[in-house]
């Protein structure tokens, strides 16, 4: 309709009407573009808020995973202490031997948790979303993204080293395939007093055990970093509500 009016005005050389019709066309295009930009911005804002909530959910999951790993490691602390005391005093008593057997079996568990990190890489790849974030949060996001990747890499690396040096590989350790003895145990013909003088066994036992302490320490430090990031994340989500 506007085009027909413009054509008619041009035939009649009514330039004022032509200018008015052109202005209406440009105004309509401008309004349409502005509305499209506003609609895109609104969709991005909603999608970003949903993604930040997913990041928060992954933080909750990582906290739960770390807490469970702490509990697992703590459950074996008692027998580990008794076993270490037995090896330091060369105690050949049945309780000492049982604690060593229990500890060796316990140390074969999986103590390298898998941290959840699905949403952060997605967020970091979406520039339209990053542009909507505060500068403070973008900085915290970059720092935490590097931290969680490095933490997972280091946990996996440490787990590999632990298995390479694991005490279960020592020739004095036997495996109970029937389950009657509860997994791994010191061969019956080997005394604790001989083990405490076996440098290779002592080294492997303590190296394997120390990796659990190292894992626990790393997880505790990473928990502090997660809480620091959570404070900034919660503030960013609150500012968007």
Q: Structural domain boundaries of the chain?
A: 14-240
pLDDT value for 132: 85
pLDDT by position in tens, the chain (length 241): 545 554 554 455 555 655 555 555 565 555 555 654 545 556 768 888 899 999 999 999 999 999 999 999 999 889 999 999 999 999 999 999 999 999 998 998 888 888 988 899 888 887 788 888 889 999 999 999 999 999 999 999 988 888 888 988 999 998 876 655 557 888 989 999 999 999 999 999 999 999 999 999 999 999 999 999 999 999 999 987 6
Query: Whole-angstrom distance between the N-terminal and C-terminal Cα of the chain?
Result: 44
184 DSSP assignment:
E
Element (DSSP H or E) covering residue 175: strand 173-175
Q: What are 186's strand-pairing partners? A: 173
113: Cβ contacts below 8 Å, ≥ 6 apart: 65, 66, 68, 69, 155, 219
pLDDT value for 104: 92
- 184: phi then psi, degrees, rounded to nearest 5: -95, 150
Contact 222, 66 (CB under 8 A): yes
Nearest to 134 by CA among 48, 50, 57: 48
């Amino acid at each position: 309709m506007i085009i027909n009016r413009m054509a008619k005005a041009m035939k009649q050389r009514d330039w004022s009407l032509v200018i008015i019709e052109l202005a209406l066309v440009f105004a309509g295009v401008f309004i349409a573009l502005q509305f499209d930009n506003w609609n895109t911005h609104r969709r991005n804002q909603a999608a970003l808020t949903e993604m930040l909530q997913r990041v928060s959910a992954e933080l909750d999951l990582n906290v739960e995973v770390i807490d469970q790993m702490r509990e697992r490691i703590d459950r074996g602390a008692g027998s580990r202490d008794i076993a270490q005391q037995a090896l330091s005093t060369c105690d050949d008593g049945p309780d000492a031997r049982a604690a060593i057997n229990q500890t060796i079996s316990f140390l074969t568990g999986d103590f390298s948790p898998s941290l959840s990190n699905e949403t952060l890489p997605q967020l970091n790849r979406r520039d339209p979303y990053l542009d909507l974030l505060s500068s403070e949060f973008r900085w915290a996001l970059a720092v935490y993204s590097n931290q969680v990747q490095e933490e997972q890499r280091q946990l996996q690396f440490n787990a590999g080293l632990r298995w390479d040096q694991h005490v279960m590989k020592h020739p004095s350790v036997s495996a109970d395939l029937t389950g009657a003895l509860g997994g791994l145990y010191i061969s019956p013909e080997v005394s604790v007093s001989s083990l405490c003088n076996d440098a290779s066994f002592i080294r492997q036992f303590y190296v394997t055990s120390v990796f659990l302490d190292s894992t626990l320490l790393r997880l505790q430090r990473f928990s502090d970093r997660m809480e620091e990031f959570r404070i900034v994340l919660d503030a960013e989500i609150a500012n968007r509500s």
